[in-house]
Structure 1
Amino acid sequence: MDDISTGSLLLTLALLILISAFFSGTETAMMSLNRYRLRHLAQKGHKAAQRADRLLQRPDRLIGLILIGNNIVNIAAASLATIICQRWYGDWGPAVATGALTFIILIFAEVTPKTLAAHYPEKLAYPNSMVLRPLMSLFYPLVWMVNHISNGLLRLMGVSHHNPNDDHLSSDELRSVVHEAGGLIPRRHREMLVSILDLEKVTVEEIMIPRAEIFAIDINDDYRAIIRQLTHSPHTRVLLYRDNIDDVVGFIHLSDVLRLFTKEQKQTGKSTLLRAVREIYFIPEGTPLNVQLLKFQRARERIGLVVDEYGDIQGLVTLEDILEEIVGDFTTGLQGPPSDDISRQEDGSLLVDASITVRDLNRETHWTLPTDGPKTLNGLILERFEDIPAPHTQLELDGHGLEVMEVAENRVKSVRFLPAN
C-alpha cells in the first residue's frame, strides 16, 4: 500500500462508495417493486421484469448477495480510509477515518440512494438486475452458505423463510387497493369492484323483499279477480299460493300465460294458469350474496323464496336484486336519485318508509346504524323499543331522533327522522 499514491487510494475509495450506493439502492428498489405490476409485466414478456421476478422468487438469496457485496465494499472502504487518514493525520488517522467515512457512507451510500430507489424502484431495479444476475452466479457458493446458516437460525426460532401466502391479498386488503387506485380506475368502476367484494358480507335476507310485501296471487280467488291482478301486475313473474303464502304453488311468467291463453283462446281457466306454473327455487336464509349469485347461475334460476330453518317463507330474492347491489338500481340509472323510501321535508327532517333495509338507509344517509341485527328499520325500532310503538312515539336510534308516524298490521309503517340540532 505504501507504493500506491494517495490520489489513487482516494479514487479507489470513491469507487467503493459508489459501489456501496449501488448495492444499497438496488436492495431498496428491488424490495419496493409492486409485485403485481412486476408479474403483469413479466407475463407480457418484459425482459427486465422477468429478471427481477426471478431474483425475487428467492428474496433470501437476493438479500444475501446484496449484503455480501455491500459489506465487502464497506470493509474495503474503511481500510482504505484508515490508510489515507494515517498518512494525513498520523495516530489520529483511524478516529478521523471512522467519523468521516461514517458520515460519507450514511449520506452518499445509504440515505440518498435508498430514498431515490424508494421513489423510482422500477427505474433502478430493472437495469440493476442485469448486474445482479451474473453476481449471483459468481458468488453463489458464498450466498448459499450464508443463507443456509441464516435459515438454520430462523428454523431454530420457529420461523420459516418459505411462506407461499405472503403475496395473497385478503378481501379487505384488496378493497384498500381498489380505493387507493385513484384516477387509474374510474370512480364508478371502483364502486362496482368494492360492491363485488362486499357481496360476501351481505346475506339474502338483507336485500330480499319481505314476506309481507311480496306480490302474490291466491289461486283460490275468483278467476276474474286473478286475471285482473295478473293484468295489473308490476312484475313479469308472479307467485301463486293457496289461501296462505306458506302454501305456495309456484311462479308463473306472464309470457307463458299469454302464450297458453293465445293457444287455447276461450278454453281457459285456473287449470291453464296451473299448467304455466314453474317450480319454486328455495334459498336458505343466511346465504351470502356471492354464494347465491353462483347458485343462481348454476341452477339457471332468476328468482327464489328465502326460507328459515323451519321452512317458513321469509321473503323473495331475484337475480336482479343481487346485480343491483353491484351496479346500482337498474330503474334509476347509475347515478340514480335517492330512494323512494326516503323523502326530505322542508324542515330538514326525513320521512322514511320503515320497510327500508338498514343497509339502504345507511347508504342513502351515510349513517352507521347497526346491520348485524334486524335487517329493516321496522325491525330495528321494534327491537330497541321492545314493543310495538304507538303513532307519534318518539325515540332515539344511535343518536338519531325519530318519531313514529304510522303503525299498521303490527308493524311500523313510516317514521320521521328529526333534523339534527
Structure 2
Amino acid sequence: MTLEELVGRRLMFGLPGPDATDADIRLFADTRAGGLILYRRNFETPERLQRLLTCLEGALDRRLLIATDHEGGRIIMLGRAVTIFPDNLAAGTAGDAGFVHRQGVFEGRELRRLGVDVNFAPVLDVLTERYSPNIGIRSYGKDPRRVARDGAARITGLQSAGVSACAKHFPGKGHAGVDAHLGLPVIESDWGEMHAVHLVPFMAAIEAGVHCLMTSHPLYPGLDPTPATPATFSRLIVDEYLRGQVGYRGVIVSDDLEMGAVRELCAIGDAAIRAAAAGHDLLLVCHTEAAQRAAHAALLEAYRTRALPRRPLEQSVARLDALVAERPARFDGGPPRPERDGEPLARALAARAATFVAPAPPGWRRRLNGRVAAIFPRLSALADRITVEPGLLDEARYLREAMRSYGVEPEVEVVGVEPTEAEIARARGRAETADATILF
C-alpha cells in the first residue's frame, strides 16, 4: 500500500449534502479518505442515503468505513426507518440494563439496514454536581457503576447486531464546564479522581470488547501537564496510558478536529499531525472541504518528511481494515425499517424514567389551557459551529408548531444557551405572568 493510501485510510470526512456530487467524489479520490461520517444534512430518506453510499463507493471502487452519531434522544442523525429511543439519562434512570441491551440490538439492526458500520455511541461520560452544558442528558447518570453497566449493555447489543460501537469521550468529560464544540474546556481532575469515577465506564467498555474508543478535547492538566495539550493531542493519555498501560487494542478515534476547542489551539493541519502523533488511528474532520484537504496535506507531508513514523501508521491502518472487514456487505438485513418491538421498548424506557421530584400543584393540568410560557435556548446562534436542524433555526416557530399538536399555544421566550442576566430577567417576568411555565 502506498503512503498516500495509508494516510488517506486514517481520515474520516463529512459531506455537505444528501447526494454524492462530483466535488465530493474528487475529495475522496484525491485524499483517499477511508471513512464517511453521516449527519442530518446527509439524510432525507433511507433510499436517498443508500444511493449516496452506493454512488460514492461505486465511483471510488472501494469500501469506506461509514459512521454516524446515533446516541438516542436529541442526538440522532438518521431519523427515519429507525426507532427513536430516549436520551441515555432516561435509560439510566429506568434502571434496567436488559432494556438497554435490547435497545443496542435494535439500533444495530436498523443501522445496518441503512449501511452504517460504526455508531459513535454510547456516551460514557459520568455526570457530577458540576454544570455540564454539552453532556447532560446524553449521559447515563452520576453513578459510574450504572454508566458502566448500561454502557456495556448497549455496546454488546450493538455489536451483536453487526454495528461497531464507539464509547466516548475518553477519558471522561461529564464534568466539563465548557462545550468543546464552542471552546476549550479545562478539567482539573487528577488520576485518582479519574480512576475512581470517570474511567470506570471505559474500563467496563473495554472489558465488554468495544471496537472503538473516541477521545475528548478538554485539557486535563492533572493527567498531562504539558501546556496546550488536550487529550486529543496527549501521547501520555492516548498512547502511553490507553494503548500501553490499559492495553486497549481496538480503534482509537479523535473527536471532530474542526471543533472550537481545537481551533483555539492550532490550525487544522497541526491538529491532524498532533492527533496522529498522540496515537489515534482515525482522525475526524467533519464539516468543510478546505479543512479536510488541509488536514490531509499536512499529514502526508509529515509522513513524507518522516516527522511522523510510518510503522504506527501501518498499524493504525491494519486496525481500521480489520474494522471494515467485520462487515463484508454494505447493507444487511433487508430494506430499511424500524424494528417491530423498538417503539414499545422506547416507550417503556421513557415511562420508567419519569421521575416526580415534587408533588404536582392542584389543577396543574388545567393550567396548560391558560397562559403557557415556554423558555427555549437560542440554538440558531450555534449553527455555524454545530449541526442544527433547519427547523430549529426559528426556535419560536418550531416550538409553537410542536406544542400545538398537544393543544398548547405557548408564549415563547428564546434565550441564549448561556443566558445573560437580562434574558434571565425577561424569562422570569414571562413565567411570573403565566399560568404554567415549561423550561427547556
TM-score of the superposition, structure 1-length normalised?
A: 0.21
Q: Which has the higher contact order (CA 8 A, sep 6+)?
A: 2
Determine which structure has more spread, i.e. the larger CA radius of gyration.
1
Richer in helix (by share):
1
